[in-house]
């Protein structure tokens, strides 16, 4: 009886039992069992063993996102379109660029200078910092060379996105007549100003990732490298210095750039993650 009640509690939200808790733990379940007169007393360890037998850990949680679009044939076609761009051989007149923005990057200058690591002592970063605004990085990742093109801006609008497109237009040789651009379907990428610009530059061909599948965009993988290697410790004197360091990181990355390898196995993993078992 005690085991059944313990498992029952673990499989319910605490609010349903009148307890203002975000989740159950063994101690709180033990208290609840006593409060409900299920047992006169019970130890936390006993509750842990009862839950362990049922493989229950109600203090753990995972975030998930319910899909806004059905996993239907249209969704499959969108995923397959992006996979094909990443895996098929490209003609000499084609390039594939992954484009997105990393937003709200704050300099956070520290009230005391950051101290470099010393023997037996890690790098030390002052906890207190100042807020001096934020900058946005708009970037494009060449999926075959790994080269990155980026612009920084204080705002994130169609005008700033067009600035990136203008830079890509200027940097791409005229022999390339098709520039595939993979990006998410947000207003900044699809607004009237952008549509007008694209109409005047027909070699740009847009491909949009499905809803909730921005991770399909390879620039997100590069952003994770940027976050880990340059932005893990945020300590910049000003917005200007932050912008300079971001462009410096891009320049140094491009000196040794490499693409992210997408193979048939990679494609199979993507389909499985999207709940798709068959190829288009």
Q: What is the pLDDT of residues 208-247, one digit of tens each?
A: 998 878 888 999 999 999 999 999 999 999 999 999 999 9
Mean pLDDT value across residues 12-18 = 93
Mean pLDDT value across residues 9-16 = 94
Q: What number does CATH give the domain 73-112+127-273?
A: 3.30.420.10
Q: Residue 78: what pLDDT?
A: 85
Break the chain into its structural domains and give their ranges. Answer: 2-53, 73-112+127-273
Length of the chain, in residues: 280
User: CA 184 to CA 220: how far, in whole Å?
Assistant: 11
Q: Give the Cβ contact number of residue 219 at 10 Å.
A: 24
Q: Residue 93: what pLDDT?
A: 97
φ and ψ at 77, to 5 degrees?
-65, -40
Up-side HSE of residue 113: CA atoms within 13 Å toward CB?
A: 3
Q: What is the pLDDT of residues 238-274, one digit of tens each?
A: 999 999 999 999 999 999 999 998 876 777 777 776 6
DSSP-assigned beta bridge partners for residue 121: 118
The answer to whether 136 and 156 have CB atoms below 8 angstroms apart is yes
Q: Residue 59: what pLDDT?
A: 95
Q: What is the pLDDT of residues 144-203, one digit of tens each?
A: 999 999 999 999 999 999 999 999 999 999 999 999 999 998 999 999 999 999 999 999
The answer to whether 176 and 204 have CB atoms below 8 angstroms apart is no
Q: Residue 65: what pLDDT?
A: 65
9 Rama sector, left if φ>0, alpha if ψ -120 to 50, beta otherwise = alpha
Burial environment of residue 150 by CB neighbours within 10 A (0 to 12, 13 to 18, 19 or more) = buried
Any idea what the Cα angle at residue 188 is, between residues 183 and 191, rounded to 5°? 110
Residue with tokens 């094909």: 84
Shortest CA distance to 85 belongs to which of 232, 216, 250? 216
Residue with tokens 């009640």: 5
HEC profile for the chain? CHHHHHHHHHCCCHHHHCCCCCCCCHHHHHHHHHHCCCCCCCCHHHHHHHHHHCCCCCCCCCCCCCCCCCCCHHHHHHHHHHHHHHHCCCCCCEEEEEEEEEEEECCCCECCCCECCECCECCECCCCECCCCCEEEEEEEECCCCCEEEEEECCCCHHHHHHHHHHHHHHCCCCCCEEEEEEECCHHHHCHHHHHHHHCCCCEEEEEECCCCHHHCHHHHHHHHHHHHCCCCCCCCCHHHHHHHHHHHHHHHHCCCCCCCCCHHHHHHHHHHCCCCCCC
């Amino acid at each position: 009886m005690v085991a059944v009640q313990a498992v029952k509690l673990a499989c319910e939200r605490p609010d349903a039992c009148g307890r203002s808790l975000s989740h159950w733990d063994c101690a709180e379940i033990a208290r609840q069992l006593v409060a409900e007169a299920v047992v006169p007393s019970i130890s936390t360890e006993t509750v842990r063993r009862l839950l362990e037998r049922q493989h229950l850990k109600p203090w753990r949680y995972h975030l998930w996102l319910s899909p806004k679009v059905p996993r239907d044939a249209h969704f499959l076609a969108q995923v397959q379109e992006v996979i094909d761009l990443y895996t098929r051989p490209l003609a000499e007149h084609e390039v594939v660029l992954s484009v997105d923005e990393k937003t709200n990057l704050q300099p956070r200058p520290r009230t005391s200078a950051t101290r470099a690591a010393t023997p037996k002592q890690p790098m030390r970063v002052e906890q207190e910092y100042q807020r001096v605004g934020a900058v946005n990085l708009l970037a494009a990742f060449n999926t075959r060379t790994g080269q990155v093109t980026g612009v920084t801006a204080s705002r994130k609008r169609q005008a700033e996105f067009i600035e990136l497109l203008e830079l890509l237009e200027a940097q791409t040789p005229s022999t390339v007549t098709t520039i595939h651009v993979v990006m998410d379907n947000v207003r900044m990428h699809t607004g009237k100003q952008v549509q007008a610009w694209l109409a005047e530059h027909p070699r740009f061909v847009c491909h949009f990732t499905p809803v909730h599948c921005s991770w399909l965009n390879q620039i997100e993988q590069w952003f994770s490298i940027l976050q880990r290697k340059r932005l893990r410790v945020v300590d910049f004197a000003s917005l200007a210095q932050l912008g300079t360091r971001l462009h410096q990181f891009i320049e140094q990355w491009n000196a040794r750039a490499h693409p992210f390898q997408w193979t048939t196995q990679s494609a199979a993993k993507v389909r499985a993650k999207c709940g798709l078992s068959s190829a288009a």
